[in-house]
């Protein structure tokens, strides 16, 4: 049995995702059997490639392999396409015709988008799977075929079963061995690998040098959801290879090709209950700032308590009127009374602090100034501190702030921060 790495090289499968490797391991193990396989995954994730892997590693590899897109064949002709027809069975049937199941006898049929198959065709397919028997359209003669069926779907077949749009018995007959192919957003570590592979392929095709991504563009494509999966990524790389004047691709180049690429799939609660990408990151930085402020306050409280204990000071209760004069942020979650100086005759030793015990009238009233609170300034200050801490390394600074590197790049431009 071939290993996963050799199969990747043989069939041109690129990536190191653990989920991808697990799906390939299942395909390799089931290939030598006659079991029916149901491959599930989003559109463009590479389901047909897996069907070819199974066929080419099976004892049927020297026989025919036919791929059929059930969603692309009209409901009125799919039975004829799959099972054949007799001359005169319907308008346009000018001669006998073999169907795919008859043609691929001894080989493999890959039925893509099986969830789009009409219900009458589902009944005929179930009979083929159970007994190998089928009947041509317009005929009464039962024919036999020995075909292995590999089905694929990009929808949830169980949901279609519950809605009465897919036969339950056919679902369990097809789902003998399920293989789920991860979407591109589930294997983000493979996005840049695939990008470089496609860039090299198109450079050879168009006889030019391969395109590359700058740091911000790399972060952008790594965070994009890629709803079209590998197919969408491949098309984007080809467009960039042909249309871009520069070989170093920037975020602006990506946005021209994929306008929605700057949107992420992260949820954000807004005032109207909608979801938009920008507001989420401001909250990220604000929460980080508030968390750090809480830590600083706790440290100050601990230092204050230690100072009181070290100097053997007491903390009696004070008058309510005096308490009201102090700003609310003076006290931590567990109120601590202000320090009352001990009588002079109790102070002894050079290590004791000198405290004023005179009348309060000797002091002038002071005005407590509120701190200037600006989200804009706080964000900028936090970003500057993080960049300074890591000597301008944006990746480390972004991790410290708890935001993505792409968001940090956008904030640096927004605040005109010179690094």
| Structure tokens, 143 | 């024919």
Burial category of 232 from C-beta neighbours within 10 Å (exposed 0-12, middle 13-18, buried 19 and up): middle
Distance, in Å, from the CA atom of 20 to the CA atom of 53, rounded to the nearest integer, reads 13
Percent above pLDDT 90 for the chain: 57
The alpha carbons of the chain give a radius of gyration, in whole angstroms, of 35
Q: What is the DSSP string of 333-371?
A: SS--PPPBPPPGGG--STTSPP---S-GGGSPP---PPP
Weakest mean pLDDT among 44-58, 85-99, 391-405:
391-405
Q: Are 130 and 138 in contact (CB under 8 A)?
A: no
Question: What residue ranges define each of the domains in the chain, with the CATH number in brackets?
Answer: 4-182 (3.40.50.300), 186-262 (1.10.8.60), 280-310+368-419 (1.10.10.60)
Query: Does the model's pTM come out above 0.85?
Result: no
Q: How far is CA 2 from CA 25, 32, 416, in A?
A: 10, 12, 55
| Structure tokens, 369 | 């100034």
pLDDT at 240 exceeding the cut of 60: yes
What pLDDT is attached to residue 354? 52
Helix, strand, coil fractions of the chain, as percent rounded to 5: 50, 10, 40
SS3 of 265, please?
Answer: coil
- At 310-362, the pLDDT tens digits run 776 666 554 344 434 444 444 444 444 444 445 545 444 444 555 555 555 55
- At 387-401, the pLDDT tens digits run 888 888 888 888 888
Beta strands in 74-222 (DSSP E): 108-112, 133-135, 142-144, 148-153, 177-180, 212-213
* Mean pLDDT value of segment 206-235: 94
Q: Are 143 and 104 in contact (CB under 8 A)?
A: no
Highest mean pLDDT (candidates 16-25, 355-364, 398-407): 16-25
Q: Mean pLDDT across the chain, nearest whole number?
A: 82
Q: Are 286 and 402 in contact (CB under 8 A)?
A: no
- At 251-310, the pLDDT tens digits run 999 999 998 887 655 444 444 444 444 455 556 666 667 767 777 787 787 777 777 777
The dihedral through the CA atoms of 192, 193, 198, 204 has a sign that is positive
At how many degrees (to 10) do helices 394-401 and 375-389 cross? 130
Q: How far is CA 71 from CA 66, 74, 111, 156, in A?
A: 15, 8, 10, 15
What pLDDT is attached to residue 337? 46
Only one residue has tokens 């006898």, namely: 105
């Amino acid at each position: 049995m071939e290993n996963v790495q050799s199969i990747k090289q043989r069939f041109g499968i690129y990536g190191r995702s653990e989920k991808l490797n697990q799906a390939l391991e299942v395909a390799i193990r089931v290939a030598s059997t006659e079991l029916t396989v149901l491959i599930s995954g989003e559109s463009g994730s590479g389901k047909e490639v897996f069907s070819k892997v199974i066929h080419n590693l099976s004892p049927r590899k020297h026989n025919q392999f036919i791929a059929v897109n059930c969603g692309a064949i009209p409901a009125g002709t799919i039975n004829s396409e799959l099972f054949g027809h007799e001359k005169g069975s319907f308008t346009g049937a000018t001669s006998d015709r073999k169907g795919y199941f008859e043609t691929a006898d001894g080989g493999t049929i890959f039925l893509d988008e099986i969830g789009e198959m009409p219900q009458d065709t589902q009944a005929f397919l179930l009979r083929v799977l159970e007994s190998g028997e089928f009947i041509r359209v317009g005929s009464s003669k039962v024919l036999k075929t020995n075909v292995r069926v590999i089905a694929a779907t990009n929808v949830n077949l169980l949901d279609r079963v519950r809605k009465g749009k897919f036969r339950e018995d056919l679902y369990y007959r097809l789902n003998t061995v399920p293989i789920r192919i991860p979407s591109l957003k589930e294997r983000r570590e493979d996005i840049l690998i695939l990008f470089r592979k496609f860039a090299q392929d198109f450079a050879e095709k168009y006889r030019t040098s391969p395109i590359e991504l700058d740091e911000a563009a790399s972060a952008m494509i790594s965070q994009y959801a890629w709803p079209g999966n590998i197919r969408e990524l491949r098309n984007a790389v080809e467009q960039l290879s042909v249309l871009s004047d520069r070989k170093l691709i920037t975020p602006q180049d990506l946005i021209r090709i994929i306008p929605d690429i700057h949107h992420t799939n992260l949820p954000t609660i807004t005032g109207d209950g909608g979801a938009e990408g920008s507001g989420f990151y401001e909250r990220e930085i604000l929460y980080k700032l508030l968390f750090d402020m809480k830590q600083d306050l706790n440290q100050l409280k601990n230092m204050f308590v230690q100072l009181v204990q070290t100097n053997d000071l007491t903390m009696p209760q004070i008058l309510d009127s005096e308490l009201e004069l102090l700003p609310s942020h003076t006290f931590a979650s567990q109120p601590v009374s202000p320090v009352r100086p001990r009588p002079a005759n109790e102070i002894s030793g050079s290590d004791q602090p000198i405290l004023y015990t005179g009348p309060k009238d000797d002091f002038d009233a002071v005005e407590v100034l509120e701190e200037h609170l600006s989200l804009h300034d706080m964000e900028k200050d936090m970003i500057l501190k993080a960049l300074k801490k890591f000597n301008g390394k944006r990746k480390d600074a972004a991790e410290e702030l708890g935001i993505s590197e792409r968001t940090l790049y956008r904030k640096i431009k927004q605040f005109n921060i010179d690094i």
